[in-house]
């Protein structure tokens, strides 16, 4: 199957075109062809995020990504083509808002991980299980938590590969702070991954983005833009579910979910995994409340 999809003719995309992500998880890089041999499962079609995670065997393997990866995008997410170069495309991810680009979060990925854009309007199903199974066009894809696909009827969905059926997806959850926390706790022990926003690895803001996505909400992709949305909350008025921001010189480079009693849920850094920990107030910048209930 890997050989078949690797030899498919690449669609002819041009700047300004819309496209859809055609792999379970696409990694967006800072430039074309900067990946290592151990990153190969992240740039194929189909991609293999589980194998990639296994390849990232040391903290150093993961820290290297800090200066080479921008973000990720999930199967079916819409992107705008910004440029193409030698089998790669620079794209902006539509529903990952970021001040870097009005079209969405930018980065480079192989053209083989894209298909022409699908109609993503109307109701949709979102993967609420840790992973879900999609059957489409004679193949089976394992999709991540947070993947969102337009609904046809029942468990039938529109995909970049045609109409398919999905197991493990449902309508979005009703948003509430307690539900956000409950969903986040399901990922305790998941590896930190710089740029990650899938159940195979999260960074701090990617975890927050994905939790809100499962509740039908789109929020900024990165910690600093997240800090500039929502309602500012004083430290003495914090409630469970508020977002805490940390950094220096007024710039937020880390975000967590407040759990009460000076505890937080966070994806801390490349040496660790999603965890519950004491709040480290030294670099605290402030808090935002996105949900009132």
* Residues 288/246, Cβ–Cβ less than 8 Å: no
Set out the domains of the chain in order of their start, with CATH numbers. 2-116 (2.30.30.40), 124-170 (2.30.30.40), 177-289 (3.90.1720.10)
**Looking at the predicted structure, is the pLDDT value of residue 33 above 90?**
yes
Q: How confident is the model at residue 2, as a pLDDT?
A: 38
Which one from 103, 191, 204, 215 is the annotated catalytic residue?
204
SS3 at position 149: strand
Crossing angle of helices 177-185 and 204-214, rounded to 10°: 120
State residue 10's pLDDT score.
Answer: 61
In terms of pLDDT, which residue wins out, 3 or 45?
45
52-61 per-position pLDDT tens digit? 999 999 999 9
204 is catalytic: yes
**Catalytic annotation, pick one of 103, 191, 215, 254:** 254
pLDDT at residue 100 in the model: 86
DSSP letters spanning 93-108: ETTS-BTTBTTSEEEE
Q: What is the pLDDT of residues 83-133, one digit of tens each?
A: 999 999 999 999 999 998 999 999 999 999 999 999 999 999 999 999 999
145 — pLDDT class (breaks 50, 70, 90): very high
Residue 293: per-residue pLDDT: 93
- Please choose, from the candidates 103, 104, 98, the residue with its C-alpha nearest in 3D space to the C-alpha of residue 224: 98
pLDDT > 90 fraction of the chain, expressed in percent and rounded: 95
**Is residue 254 annotated as a catalytic residue, yes or no?**
yes
Whether this model's pTM surpasses 0.75: yes
Distance between CA atoms of residues 290 and 229, nearest Å = 8
Of the listed 90, 103, 191, 266, which one is catalytic? 266
């Amino acid at each position: 199957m890997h050989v078949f999809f690797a030899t498919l003719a690449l669609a002819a995309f041009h700047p300004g075109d819309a496209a859809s992500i055609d792999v379970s998880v696409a990694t967006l890089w800072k430039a074309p062809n900067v990946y290592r041999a151990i990153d190969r499962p992240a740039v194929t079609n189909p991609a293999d995020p589980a194998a990639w995670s296994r390849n990232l065997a040391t903290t150093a393997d993961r820290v290297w990504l800090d200066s080479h990866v921008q973000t990720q995008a999930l199967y079916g997410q819409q992107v705008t083509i910004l440029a193409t170069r030698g089998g790669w495309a620079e794209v902006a991810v539509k529903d990952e808002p970021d001040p870097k680009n009005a079209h969405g979060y930018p980065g480079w990925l192989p053209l083989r991980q894209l298909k022409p854009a699908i109609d993503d309007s109307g109701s949709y199903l979102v993967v609420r299980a840790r992973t879900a199974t999609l059957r489409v066009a004679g193949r089976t894809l394992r999709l991540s938590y947070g993947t969102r696909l337009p609904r046809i009827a029942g468990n039938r969905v529109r995909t970049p590969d045609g109409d398919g059926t999905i197991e493990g997806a449902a309508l979005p959850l009703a948003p509430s702070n307690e539900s956000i926390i409950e969903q986040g706790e399901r990922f305790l022990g998941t590896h930190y991954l710089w740029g990650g926003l899938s159940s195979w690895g999260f960074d701090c803001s990617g975890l927050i983005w994905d939790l809100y996505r499962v509740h039908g909400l789109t929020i900024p992709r990165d910690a600093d833009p997240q800090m500039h949305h929502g309602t500012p909350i004083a430290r003495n008025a914090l409630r469970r579910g508020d977002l805490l921001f940390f950094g220096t010189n007024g710039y937020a480079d880390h975000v967590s979910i407040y759990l009460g009693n000076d505890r937080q849920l966070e994806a801390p850094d490349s040496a660790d995994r999603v965890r519950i920990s004491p709040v480290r107030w030294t670099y605290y910048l402030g808090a935002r409340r996105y949900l009132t209930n």
